[in-house]
Amino acid sequence: NAAETKPNFSKGVIELGDLTDKNVGQLKLINQASFPVNYNSSFYDDLQRNLSLAKLAYFNDVMVGAVCTRLETVERTPKLYIMTLGVLSAYRRLGIGSLLIKHVLEEICKEQSQVASVYLHVQTSNEAAIEFYKKFGFEIKGVIEHYYKHIEPPNCYIVERKNDFYTGK
Q: Annotated catalytic sites, by residue?
A: 81, 121
One-letter identity of residue 153? P
Q: Rounded to an integer, what distance in angstroms lies between the CA atom of residue 111 and that of residue 93?
A: 28
Beta strands, E only, 18-76: 54-59, 62-74
CA 142 to chain centroid, in Å, comes to 19
| Among candidate residues 100, 112, 104, the one with its CA nearest the CA of residue 165 | 112
